[in-house]
Structure 1
Amino acid sequence: MNTPLRRIAVVVVVMFLALMGAATWVQYVQAAQLNADPRNVRTLYREYDNFRGPIVVGGEPVASSTPVDDPFGFQRAYTNGPLYAHATGYYSIVYGRTGLERASNDLLTGTADSLFLSRIQDLVTGRQPQGSSVELTLDPAVQAAAAEALGDQRGAVVALDPTTGAVLAMVSSPSFDPNVLAGHDTSTVNDLYRTLTDDPGEPLVNRAIAGDTYPPGSTFKLVDAAAALESGLTPESPLAAPDVLPLPASSATIGNFGGASCGGGGTVSLAEALRISCNTAFAQLGLDLGDDALREQAERFGFGAPLSIPLRVTPSRFPEDPDQPQTALAAIGQQDVRATPLQMAMVSAAIANGGEQMAPFLVRTVRSPDLEVVEETSPSVLRTPVSPATAAALRDMMVGVVETGTGTAARIPGVLVAGKTGTAQTTDDVAPHAWFTAFAPADAPRVAVAVIVENGGNVGNEATGGRVAAPVARAVIEAVLAR
């Protein structure tokens, strides 16, 4: 064989090897990823031929499939769609899957490894393949109470069982009706989807666990107080509390809400500073502790850590390398500190649970089409942010906030509520966010909750966490205690 023919032969062999390698890569290595991609409409078309399992809340399906006389075979329908939209997500022939429709897709379609025996039985008996039911931890009464209390205000509510980590409520406002995206008329679905994406309220964003996250404001003072107690301070330890705190190496200053004075401009105890939410005291405390100590304590509560419940949660964050003025601002939940409502609920839940933070979870049980339990979530300790002694001290300090401090709007007769308010500035021309996080009963906790109302809600510039967010938390707590 002459040289030109040998070269052509080598090129042909290389091309065949490249083609075989590419085909192997797509069909075997990337197969699972491509099948799971919500944009893969071929997978969706194949799934529509089979009965998709329901998503269940309180024993009743909130997402279900029924046979229809069209080429797709089944129609997905959502009961109380807007109430559960950010948990269920949507299942659309045009836009794929979101929420649990995506996160639990292999269970709902019956293709999960845990359902292998069920698939074998279907094959042997000739039964039409069916997906499993996914039962959630959400409590219908608590979810409804959270949504009603938040109303038409933009924001979010998360409620957890602090002893197990079960998510009792997860509400994001504004919401949307997933039924409008589950239709089989693609033209109509496209029009309705554009309406949702053009809405300035961003109803498709799950503000409870995702989105852009928020400055936590004074609710972050719980992290400061935890770091202080873990370093050896006590609730009675005095903190410098000037009326105005000059920031080091800067012409900027920090004052207290409304220009108020803490302790007459002298000193206050750590407990008193938390009770009245003294900005200057906590800003100075942040400078004294240093950004490394604040960051370490925040990370011990879960800031910066990836999390799935199984919905993916946006990590909360503390700034990497702040200077001293930035550290002082970060200590009062401003600057570049960002948190989700779920994260702040987890902070309260850890304090309520004696320092142990339970892993939050949204799916309680998965059942086969024969109603046999194939998966069940067991509560597990995620981390231990603080010692039992520190947790007990923080609990008592948070009770003081609600009993006689900035959180009195969360008081419930006959029940000790432990809480912390927050009012987070955004920009000078926009009203502040109103925060409240709490747990109750303080002596035997059954629920931990976090609430954010964006830009003051219906009150606007006059908003504070105690005035706007605390009543929402109180309604959620009362719903849990009434169960």
Structure 2
Amino acid sequence: MSKRLQNIAIGMLIAFLITALHLTFWSAIERDALRARADNPRRLEDERAIVRGSIVDRNGVALARSEPSVRLPSGRMAQRRVYPQPSAFSVTGYYSLIYGSSGAEFAFDRALRGAEHMDLWSAVLNEALNRPPRGADLRLTVDAHLQAIAAAAFGDRRGAAVLLEVPSGAIWALYSAPLYDPNTLDADWERLRNDPNAPLLNRALQGVYQPGSALQLIIYAAMLANPALQPSDLASATAPLSLDGAVVPCLAESPLPLESLQSALARSCPSLFAEFAVQYPAEVQEKIEAFGLLSLPRLNGYPMAAEPRFRPLQALSEPAERLREGVGQGSLTVTPLQMALVASGIANYGNIVAPYIAEALRAPDSEQWTPVPRSQLERAAITREAAEQLRAAMREATLSGAAQAARLPELPPEVTLYAHLGLAFSGARQDGWLIGFVDLPDGRALAAAVLVESVAEAQTAARIGGQLLAAAARRALQN
């Protein structure tokens, strides 16, 4: 071979090696980075072809699934996400190629898209066969039937409801109103984003509200922990409280005088509790912290509200500021999930349960469900004796106090209802709270918090909470 041909051959070999190295670099080493580039059309096609796993409720009812839609240039089928139960949107969230994801679609995105169980061999095989990745199925603890009950109870009102099982912490219902339809999210996005009713906000987890007279539960717990500090003069306990030009009365009017602090809580009378917070801020602060109101709970990676900003009661030098905090109208804000956990602590005789909403995952082509690990443990908030006294007050509230509207005829006779009614003021708006639970015959309980925005009367929250607790109790007895 002539020198000239040798040089040509060597040059071609070097060019081939450079090309091979370049292809190896981009197809193997930088494969994921290349596909992740926003200007890579293959990325969008790959994303559209992923068969995301289904999301089902505790009974196997489909909450979200993928269905084939159109054929892509690669020959694979594009998938569209379908949500058969729109009332469960606050649980499932949404998945959009344009606007991202929320809820379970966000928290379990890697599992649902197949990234968690995808090994190198599976990836190579999928590529060779032009086969799209398949994600794992996700089973949640919620009950689609209870989600629909909550939707019917709220109607066109704004608010949220959380219901969970005690002592397991499994969330049976997590509802936010107003609803939107995640099936038409892309088309409706601008309208939803600009809607003053904020339907995209998951109020159950991200809505922050003043607790108002729902905070009386916490202050009563502080009173029980400090018997020597409890007020003995109940003569003015039923007197309305004046606050910033507003008059805050007892939520249950009665011509009979109060005979105990328990009855003051049962009637949701603000004066005694507000005055206690003014006089003993450190004791109230301790119980606010013990019930977890100064830190947001975790829930399987779901997006939560921003961490609360709260000025410690001891740091407030003005009695008027302490008074606002004492009636739940100060800097303290809470989410419905937090208040549901308060209810769980009372139902669980002093121990607040660890909430969870994801039960198990099932790999593609498998029949076996693998439990989702749970790392949180229940924590003590109050003593068993204090919980029993709180339970007695909440029971009285349903029989002759402020929460009687929650005791509905459809409540099964085998269960016992406990509840506290609260009212909070937000400017010209007033919001209703129902914090309650039912004891089941088998030793379990179902605890709930319901928040209804812009109510004419707090009893609206009591009726909605009563409907949800009654329906959940019936489901528990059936199963």
What TM bracket, shorter-length normalisation?
0.7 to 0.9
Q: Residue 385 of structure 1: CA displacement?
A: 0.9
| 1:107 maps to amino acid | A
1:107-141 CA-partner distances (Å, limit 9, x unpaired): 101212xx256x65675697753110111110122
- The answer to whether residue 158 in structure 2 is matched with residue 166 in structure 1 is no
Preserved contact between residue 139 and residue 361 of structure 2 (Cα < 8 Å): yes
- Distance in 1, matches of 2:308 and 2:39, equals 28
- Distance in 1, matches of 2:181 and 2:425, equals 31
Preserved contact between residue 88 and residue 101 of structure 1 (Cα < 8 Å): yes
Alignment counterpart, residue 476 of structure 1, candidates 468, 475, 478:
468
SS at match of 2:361: strand
1:84-127 CA-partner distances (Å, limit 9, x unpaired): 11211111111111111111101101212xx256x656756977
SS at match of 1:141: helix
Q: Residue 59 of structure 1: CA displacement?
A: 0.4
The match for 2:439 is 441
Show structure 1 runs of 5+ residues with no match.
1-26, 182-188
SS at match of 1:455: coil
SS at match of 1:439: strand
Q: Residue 373 of structure 1: CA displacement?
A: 2.8
The match for 1:76 is 80
| 2:276 maps to amino acid | L
1:423-464 CA-partner distances (Å, limit 9, x unpaired): 11111xx241111110002784421111111010xxx3xx12
Map 1:48-63 to 2 at 5 A. Answer: 48-57=48-57, 58-63=59-64
- Distance in 2, matches of 1:120 and 1:325, equals 67
- Distance in 1, matches of 2:55 and 2:298, equals 18
Change (3 A) 1:102 1:328: same
The match for 2:218 is 223
Map 1:331-370 to 2 at 5 A. Answer: 331-369=326-364, 370=366
The match for 2:268 is 277
1:335-367 CA-partner distances (Å, limit 9, x unpaired): 222111111110001110111111111111111
The match for 2:321 is 326
| 1:299 maps to amino acid | E
Change (3 A) 1:73 1:361: same
Structure 1 vs Structure 2 CA RMSD: 3.3
Change (3 A) 1:116 1:417: same
- Distance in 1, matches of 2:43 and 2:109, equals 11
The match for 1:420 is 420
SS at match of 1:203: coil
- The answer to whether residue 66 in structure 2 is matched with residue 65 in structure 1 is yes
Preserved contact between residue 85 and residue 144 of structure 2 (Cα < 8 Å): no
| 1:138 maps to amino acid | V
Preserved contact between residue 55 and residue 62 of structure 2 (Cα < 8 Å): yes
SS at match of 2:218: helix
The match for 1:20 is none
Change (3 A) 1:244 1:145: closer
Change (3 A) 1:281 1:306: closer
- The answer to whether residue 358 in structure 2 is matched with residue 393 in structure 1 is no
Show structure 2 runs of 5+ residues with no match.
1-28
Q: Residue 218 of structure 1: CA displacement?
A: 1.1
Change (3 A) 1:152 1:39: farther
The match for 2:4 is none
- Distance in 1, matches of 2:338 and 2:452, equals 15
Change (3 A) 1:294 1:39: farther
| 1:353 maps to amino acid | N
The match for 1:199 is 195
Larger mean Cα displacement after TM superposition, 68-77 or 383-392? 68-77
1:274-324 CA-partner distances (Å, limit 9, x unpaired): 01111111111112321x322221121111213321212224564333332
Matched pairs, number: 426
Specify the structure having the higher radius of gyration (Cα): 2
- Distance in 2, matches of 1:40 and 1:220, equals 53
Alignment counterpart, residue 141 of structure 1, candidates 139, 145, 153:
145
Preserved contact between residue 423 and residue 434 of structure 1 (Cα < 8 Å): yes
Preserved contact between residue 39 and residue 96 of structure 1 (Cα < 8 Å): no
| 1:283 maps to amino acid | A
Alignment counterpart, residue 299 of structure 1, candidates 273, 289, 312:
289
The match for 1:14 is none
Larger mean Cα displacement after TM superposition, 389-398 or 412-421? 412-421
The match for 1:402 is 398
1:124-166 CA-partner distances (Å, limit 9, x unpaired): 6977531101111101222211111111111111101121111
Preserved contact between residue 87 and residue 151 of structure 2 (Cα < 8 Å): yes
Map 1:374-389 to 2 at 5 A. Answer: 374-378=370-374, 380-389=376-385
Identity between Structure 1 and Structure 2 (%)? 31
Q: Structure 2-normalised TM-score?
A: 0.80
The match for 1:288 is 279
| 1:274 maps to amino acid | L
Q: Residue 214 of structure 1: CA displacement?
A: 0.8
Preserved contact between residue 137 and residue 362 of structure 1 (Cα < 8 Å): yes
SS at match of 1:68: strand
Change (3 A) 1:255 1:86: closer
- Distance in 2, matches of 1:241 and 1:340, equals 32
SS at match of 1:225: helix
Preserved contact between residue 257 and residue 279 of structure 1 (Cα < 8 Å): yes
Preserved contact between residue 81 and residue 178 of structure 1 (Cα < 8 Å): no
- Distance in 2, matches of 1:106 and 1:39, equals 22
Preserved contact between residue 241 and residue 249 of structure 2 (Cα < 8 Å): no
Change (3 A) 1:138 1:404: same
| 1:85 maps to amino acid | F
Preserved contact between residue 245 and residue 280 of structure 1 (Cα < 8 Å): yes
- Distance in 2, matches of 1:309 and 1:234, equals 37
- The answer to whether residue 449 in structure 2 is matched with residue 453 in structure 1 is no
Change (3 A) 1:111 1:413: closer
- The answer to whether residue 134 in structure 2 is matched with residue 130 in structure 1 is yes
Change (3 A) 1:407 1:304: same
SS at match of 2:160: strand
- Distance in 1, matches of 2:450 and 2:254, equals 27
Change (3 A) 1:330 1:193: same
Change (3 A) 1:110 1:234: farther
Map 1:233-248 to 2 at 5 A. Answer: 241=236, 243=239
